[in-house]
Amino acid sequence: MMDFGFRISPSSAVNMDDVDFELFERLCEIEPDARKCMACGSCSATCPASAFSGMSLRKVLHCLQRGKEKEAVRMLRNCMLCGKCTMVCPRGINTRHLILSICKIYKED
Amino acid sequence: MRERFLSGYNDFVLPFMIGMVFILSYCLVGMIRIILQLPKDDRKKFFLSLVTPSIILKNIKDIFLDCLIHVKLWKRNKLLGYMHSSIAFGWFMLIVIGHIEVFLYTPNRAKLFYYPIFFRYFVAETEHTMKGAFFFFLMDFFLLVVLSGIVLAMIKRLRSRFFGMRRTTNPSFLDLVGLYSLWAIFPLRLLAEGFTADISGGSFLTKSLNWVFHSFLGDHVNMLPTWWAYSCALGVFFIVLPFTRYMHIPTEILLIPLRNVGLTIRNARKGFAKAQVYSCPNCGLCIDACPMGVLKANIRDTTVYLNRQIRRNNEARIEEISDKCLLCGKCSVVCQVGIHGDQLRIAQRSIRKYNISPDYSNIDEKVLLNGCNKFVKQPNSNVLLSDSEKVMYFAGCMTALTPSIRKSLLSLLDKAGVDYEMMDRDGGLCCGRPMWMAGRFDQARQMVEKNSAIIRDSGANVLLLSCPICYKIFKERYHLEGIEVIHHTEYLERLVRQGRLDVMKSGTSFVYHDPCELGRGCGVYEQPRSVISGLGKLVEARSSGPESICCGGSLGSLTLGFDKRKMMTENALENLTAENPDVIVTACPLCLNTFDRYADRPVKDIAEVLDNQTTKK
């Protein structure tokens, strides 16, 4: 990355070589659907928890794929498991079970 | 009657005695363990109930009617009812009359445990058998009743369709051992008593058998082996009983008093849950009832198999079975013993360990309240304007995805001139029921508290819901004193009844689908039907009311994907359209959404059809 010696905003670049994907691989083993997401954002648009914590399943998956687990967990902490995302998902992903599996595999810190 | 042996003992009673002592001590220990596993307050309630006359009477009545006569089964299926009650009641009467005989004729032997069972071997008939003839007749009669039940049981094992059951349970190996020994007991008893009938006396069955035997086996040497065989069959049955489905016989006697106290499952494996699991007779009625059964692979995920896996502590299968279920509750309705398959599964889900626990303390209910407190005089004060009806409408998450319901319901409220306010016009909290069904009670309780605070502070006195999923948890877990919780089917029926809506009848035919959470969950069946019959012709589905078939879209299932649910939805639709109605009416946004995907005719919510045929007063 280009280094000018100063920055306007903190960098959001992720070095994928440094990310440990072990947990994500484990998630994909239980939930093959995690790779099915095409990031359309239907889940985020309907989510009642997004108003309170910015919860968005699309972003959660996005973060997990890039090793930004902390951010994903912060969003997940307001999920109410209401199931609206399951109903609108055009890919037919069982989002509720996906969320529960994330809650099992990843850790809060 | 005269005794044949001074000692009153023969070695052949040993297998029976060993089995009997084993099963009695096993049941006693099991009973004490279950009672000790109950939470303290439940245990106290249970002990109190054992000295409350009204509950004692109810317990005795229920045990007699459920365990011996099988009244519920009779109502459901006469042949199955006869089969079970003939074996249970017949055997019970054989034991009772056997004891009466001992008390009458050989009272000095009454303290011997085995004497009533093998009475005919130990006595010889004397002149005065007038009374004996009466009892002998009864004994033979009830033996015949039991034998007829056994014959039916054999037919059922070969051809369950004959009994109106499409599928029945696959017995485990030990179940089969128990089953065959149970089948063997009564024919062997007939043989043994038949051989002895010329000495001890008998009636139409045993006496006639004795004459037949004498024509070609005229020797008393054959007597002892048959008594040995009879005793061995009893002994084997009692020894395998704790490890087979027949454990339901003693456990149900404990389950009935526990149930009559009104206990609920508080621990997934212990106490009341354990009593339920062991009470399962593996009859398999839940297999045909389960809406998942349309996919053959799911048959092994029905409640009867859940009970079996819990008894085996097979954790992987327990998790699979309890996560797959739609929680429609139909197995609980058809269950003759009163096992709540849905509650049992939610309890299994509640012991899962999660690393991330959602927490809603950051959500400010004051902000949510500000959007909906028009009934309160000053913001955030509890002074009400007047005591007239103030309706707070909580649409819920699912209704937010089916805006047609919300629109129609609001239009109806306007037409009827109801003073109302919407609680989640711009989105609100979830009711907590989906989280509760996932077994995460602490999170669900947080939502319950937040929502309760909003509703209490809003100044409303009626809470109107259009989603049965919300309705169920609002009725069960919310404590909203002074606020009436009502589902829109009930409320619309009230508006129509009070003449606040002008309804026009049309020639359309409707079929009403009972949503699981509204019908089986909350017992609302009549009100929606009464509203619909005012709109047009109401036809019934093939199975409806408490036995309606889940649409397949339920939030209860955690693991079933869309592709797996399709067949269930199609099966439910086929059931609904048996009478070829023009419109399918339901009262649940989730059912509406699910059916609409595959139905060949319009699917509407009850509010929509009513709104279409209502004019402003």
Residue found by looking up tokens 């004692």 in the block: B56
Cα B156 versus chain centre, distance? 22
In chain A, which residues have their Cβ closer than 8 Å to the Cβ of B555? 83, 96
Confidence label for B327 from pLDDT (cuts 50, 70 and 90): very high
Beta bridge partners of B537: B509
Q: Among A103, A106, A107, A109, pick the best mutation site for testing chain B contact (most B Cβ within 10 A).
A: A103
Q: How far apart are CA B116 and CA B8, in angstroms?
A: 12
CA distance B511 to chain A (A): 25
Count of Cβ atoms closer than 10 Å to residue B364 Cβ: 11
- For the segment B46-60, the average pLDDT, to the nearest whole number, is 94
pLDDT above 90: percentage of residues in chain B: 73
- For the segment A88-108, the average pLDDT, to the nearest whole number, is 92
Contact B559/A103, CB-based, under 8 Å?
no
Q: How far apart are CA B123 and CA B400, in angstroms?
A: 79
Question: What is the model's pLDDT at position B204?
Answer: 87
CA distance A78 to chain B (A): 5
Question: What is the model's pLDDT at position B201?
Answer: 82
Q: For the range B475-480, what are the long-range contacts, defined as Cβ-Cβ under 8 Å and sequence gap of 24 or more?
A: B475/B522, B477/B432, B477/B436, B477/B444, B477/B445, B477/B448, B478/B448, B478/B451, B478/B452, B479/B452, B480/B452, B480/B455, B480/B456
Q: Structure tokens of B387?
A: 């005591």
pLDDT at residue B379 greater than cutoff 60: no
Residue of B nearest to A109 (CA): B356
Confidence label for B382 from pLDDT (cuts 50, 70 and 90): low
Q: How far apart are CA B526 and CA B82, in angstroms?
A: 32
Contact B434/A82, CB-based, under 8 Å?
yes
Question: What is the model's pLDDT at position B5?
Answer: 85
Contact A94/B360, CB-based, under 8 Å?
no
Q: ipTM score of the complex? A: 0.91
Whether B472 and B521 have beta carbons less than 8 Å apart is answered as yes
Q: Structure tokens of B333?
A: 């309705």
pLDDT at residue B375 greater than cutoff 90: no
Crossing angle (nearest 10°) for helices B488-497 and B526-533: 50
Whether A78 and B358 have beta carbons less than 8 Å apart is answered as yes
Q: Is B507 near chain A, with CB under 8 Å?
A: no
Q: In what helix (H) or strand (E) does residue B464 lie, and over which residues does it extend? A: strand B462-465
Confidence label for B374 from pLDDT (cuts 50, 70 and 90): confident
Model pTM score: 0.91
pLDDT at residue B547 greater than cutoff 70: yes
Question: What is the model's pLDDT at position B378?
Answer: 53
Contact A87/B401, CB-based, under 8 Å?
yes
- For the segment B228-253, the average pLDDT, to the nearest whole number, is 95
Contact B401/A80, CB-based, under 8 Å?
no
CA proximity to B5, closest of B115, B113, B96, B111: B115
Contact B356/A76, CB-based, under 8 Å?
yes
Question: What is the model's pLDDT at position B132?
Answer: 63
Q: How far apart are CA B383 and CA B375, in angstroms?
A: 9
Crossing angle (nearest 10°) for helices B53-62 and B40-49: 90
Q: How far apart are CA B468 and CA B272, in angstroms?
A: 27
Higher pLDDT, B179 or B374: B179
Half-sphere exposure at residue B504, Cβ-oriented, CA atoms within 13 angstroms = 9
pLDDT at residue B386 greater than cutoff 70: no
pLDDT in tens, B461-501: 899 999 999 999 999 999 998 899 999 999 999 999 999 99
Give Rg (Cα) of chain A. Answer: 15
Contact B355/A103, CB-based, under 8 Å?
yes
Q: Structure tokens of B480?
A: 């909203």
Residue found by looking up tokens 């199975």 in the block: B543
Q: How far apart are CA B27 and CA B120, in angstroms?
A: 28
Whether B181 and B241 have beta carbons less than 8 Å apart is answered as no
Longest dimension (CA), chain A: 48
Confidence label for B229 from pLDDT (cuts 50, 70 and 90): very high
Question: What is the model's pLDDT at position B32?
Answer: 96
Q: How far apart are CA B498 and CA B506, in angstroms?
A: 21
Of B132-136, B201-205, B482-486, B528-532, give the lowest mean pLDDT range: B132-136
Q: How far apart are CA B205 and CA A31, in angstroms?
A: 65
Q: How far apart are CA B104 and CA B295, in angstroms?
A: 59
Residue found by looking up tokens 């009272």 in the block: B107
- With the C-alpha atoms ordered B114, B117, B121, B125, is the resulting torsion angle positive or negative? positive
Confidence label for B16 from pLDDT (cuts 50, 70 and 90): very high
Q: In what helix (H) or strand (E) does residue B3 lie, and over which residues does it extend? A: strand B2-3
Q: Is B555 near chain A, with CB under 8 Å?
A: yes
pLDDT in tens, A53-62: 889 999 999 9
pLDDT above 70: percentage of residues in chain B: 97
Q: Is A31 helix (H, G, I), strand (E, B) or coil?
A: coil
- For the segment B114-126, the average pLDDT, to the nearest whole number, is 88
Q: Structure tokens of B535?
A: 């709109």
pLDDT at residue B371 greater than cutoff 90: no
In chain A, which residues have their Cβ closer than 8 Å to the Cβ of B447? 80
- For the segment B407-411, the average pLDDT, to the nearest whole number, is 95
Give the number of A-B residue pairs with CB atoms closer than 8 Å: 96
Residue of B nearest to A92 (CA): B562
Residue found by looking up tokens 């009935």 in the block: B256
The whole-chain average pLDDT of chain A stands at 89
The whole-chain average pLDDT of chain B stands at 91
Confidence label for B158 from pLDDT (cuts 50, 70 and 90): confident
Whether B560 and B326 have beta carbons less than 8 Å apart is answered as yes
- For the segment A26-40, the average pLDDT, to the nearest whole number, is 92
pLDDT at residue B159 greater than cutoff 90: no
Q: How far apart are CA B504 and CA B73, in angstroms?
A: 43
Q: How far apart are CA B517 and CA B540, in angstroms?
A: 19
